[in-house]
Amino acid sequence: MSLVSHLFPKLSLLPHISLLCNGHRHRLGLVRRHSTTLIHRRPPATIFSPPSPLVGHSRHGRRRVSMDSASPEVSASVDSVAEGLKNQNLNSDDRGGLGSGVEHGARKKLEELNWDNSFVRELPGDPRTDVIPRQVLHACYSNVLPSVEVESPQLVAWSESVADLLDLDLQEFERPDFPLLFSGASPLVGVSPYAQCYGGHQFGMWAGQLGDGRAITLGEILNSRSERWELQLKGAGKTPYSRFADGLAVLRSSIREFLCSEAMHSLGIPTTRALCLLTTGTFVTRDMFYDGNQKEEPGAIVCRVAQSFLRFGSFQIHASRGKDDYKIVRALADYAIRHHFPHFENMSSSQSLSFSTGDEDSSVVDLTSNKYAAWAVEVAERTASLIASWQGVGFTHGVLNTDNMSILGLTIDYGPFGFLDAFDPSYTPNTTDLPGRRYCFANQPDVGLWNISQFASTLSAAELINDKEANYAMERYGDKFMDNYQTIMTKKIGLPKYNKQLISKLLNNMAVDKVDYTNFFRSLSNIKADPSTPEEELLVPLKAVLLDMGKERKEAWVSWVKIYIAELAASGISDEERKASMDAINPKYILRNYLCQTAIDAAEQGDFGEVRRLLKIMERPFDEQPGMEKYARLPPAWAYRPGVCMLSCSS
């Protein structure tokens, strides 16, 4: 049984799901504890066959909500020890990582930013400097300069919080040459631009070399807290990885990426960020639906920011090219660990990160003996946590290819994404995905596991981890996802412990009646824990979200609300306290596709006010924001046309 089956047990699964995760569903449990060593029960598996997702166990030092409504319990696992190791390194690592919490120094001008450029300094590069489309062998990147043509580029919007990450003085956005500098038309002092080489699986099929076809990294900035931030211009021109494309980006897709990067951050979901968005003043030819109807669209560039843009595909491409390039996989792994997972450089046997893989052969995975295995486990757990967060807010990425999977567990590459409006587990925002719906909302947890299996297989092929360590990383993905998802859903309905039957019934009711995902959970906090509420009044707090229902469906909802109120009453939590906690996890404002389109339509006519207004609203998604209520409304009828609710991968 797949993770989808657990989340939506009454929904029929799409045909490809059985290909992603087949076999019998096993339940993991903590069966024995010896001082700091844990023994887990798990089924036999191999990374070379489709993995079976597994139900989670507890995490050390953290409260866990069990699947069977048991009380939260405390237990041990690898992620807590890794967290401790991270904290040990925060003050000692001055080369990046997570930062030391040091107070900001003085705000800096662009010329004063501290560029480091470790990626090009420490990893093998392409000896050629041309941008002719080609296979780039034995290299992690190609040096390339931005080449986009600009005519009076204009700054559309910028993120003050991202400027804060970089210690950048906000007055720098007012510089007349700022649009020239961040379009690449004028060079920034201290940068060393390059395009990254990577490959990937696209829709489950190996696609070979892909790479940064229209993204050019300027370099890395070290801020006053010793954090490392990579800046990248998306839409800045051709690279050796552009294939038959022009390396450019259009305004509509750039607005979507800029706004959603910042909106996801404000929702508390790990993501790449966006410093600024600008127009180039030139036009780009695009065929939005691949139907032969090309048109001219305004060109644009987004400056994306992340601690790293390394992807699963960054490692896959080199492993795919055979033994001669395995050393590059190792070099990339060493680089990633050194700069972004430094806690694994200092592991010792005293941490006792040893885990049994089963009772039959009593073999043990000792993560302290292999930093690559410990790293793979953390990548798996970060990915699981990320996708659980997506499910919690109803976000569908749309293109979960392995080249779009960050090793840091960030949401990366905002193409045809979409937040759920009417709840439909089979929703995909990607027109290219329609035939099989591989990347639909309900499938994201299983696809995440499939992608982790490809990443683990890559590390195994390069002889950085063995099969047992690879299997354990996948096991931890299943554990972590279920733990986080259960915790999120429990908080969303305001209960102190997980209730599988109650949540499953709720999601199925929502799917049957196509209830708006965001507005329903926001309204749910208005229900009072009063079992004496007359039956005819039970649905009053939900009347704005339960629309156009017949008698039978009303009875189904009344039945659910009765059980829910009984659970609320038994919890002993006051209505006021519960509402505050629920409203803190259930956003009122999300970046619905129709809101993006409204801003795009205005921007294409030269009015950027709506882009800036949406940015400000999405910075406070959990607040009521009086006067902004229209941004929480259901989509209008026009929002369901192609190009608004669904998009292609074209940009």
Q: What is the pLDDT of residues 367-419, one digit of tens each?
A: 888 999 999 999 999 999 999 999 999 999 999 999 999 999 999 999 999 99
- Whether residue 549 is contained in a domain is answered as yes
Q: How many domains does the chain have?
A: 1
Domain membership flag for residue 566: yes
pLDDT at residue 45, as a whole number: 32
Phi, then psi, of 503 in degrees rounded to 5 = -70, -40
Calculate the dihedral angle through the C-alpha atoms of 223, 224, 226, 228, rounding to the nearest 10 degrees.
-10
- Residue 291 is predicted with a pLDDT of 66
Q: For the chain, how many residues are written? A: 651
> Is residue 499 assigned to a domain?
yes
Helix or strand run (H / E) with residue 282: strand 273-286
* Domain assignment of residue 520, yes or no: yes
Q: In this predicted structure, what is the pLDDT of residue 551?
A: 94
Catalytic residue among 126, 325, 403, 513: 403
Per-residue pLDDT tens digits for 34-72: 222 222 333 333 322 333 333 333 333 333 323 333 333
Question: What's the pLDDT at 639?
Answer: 83
pLDDT value at residue 6: 59
Share of the chain above pLDDT 90, in %: 75
Residue 503 lies in a domain: yes
pLDDT score recorded for residue 642 = 75
First to last CA, the chain: 37
Mark the ranges of the chain whose per-residue pLDDT is less than 50.
10-78, 80-82, 84-104, 350, 359, 651
What pLDDT, on a 0 to 100 scale, did the predictor assign at position 366? 84
Q: pLDDT tens digits for 282-319?
A: 999 987 666 677 889 999 999 999 999 999 999 999 99
Residue 117: inside a domain: no
pLDDT digits (tens, 9 = 90+) for 241-265: 999 999 999 999 999 999 999 999 9
What's the CA gap between 65 and 71, in Å, rounded?
Answer: 7
pLDDT of residue 53: 32
**Domain span at residue 568?**
495-572
CA torsion, ordered 532, 538, 542, 543, to nearest 10 deg: -140
Rounded to an integer, what distance in angstroms lies between the CA atom of residue 292 and that of residue 283?
18
User: Closest Cα partner for 86 from 305, 337, 377?
Assistant: 337
Looking at the domain assignment, is residue 156 inside a domain?
A: no
Mean per-residue pLDDT of the chain = 85
CA distance 551 to 280: 56
Choose among 7, 28, 116, 158: nearest CA to 505.
Answer: 7
H or E stretch covering 58: none
pLDDT at 292: 72
Q: What is the pTM of this model?
A: 0.86
SS3 state of residue 229 = strand
How far is it, in rounded angstroms, from Cα 651 to Cα 645?
A: 15
Residue of 459, 221, 452, 456 lying closest to 333 (CA atoms): 459
- Burial letters for 117-149: b for 16+ Cβ neighbours within 10 Å, e otherwise? bbbbeebbbbeeeebebeebeebbbbbbebebe
Residue 55 lies in a domain: no
Task: Compute CA 203 distance to the chain's CA centroid, rounded to the nearest angstrom.
Answer: 18
Per-residue confidence (pLDDT) for residue 96, from 0 to 100 = 32
403: annotated active-site residue: yes
| Residues ≥6 apart with Cβ < 8 Å to 382 | 270, 408, 409
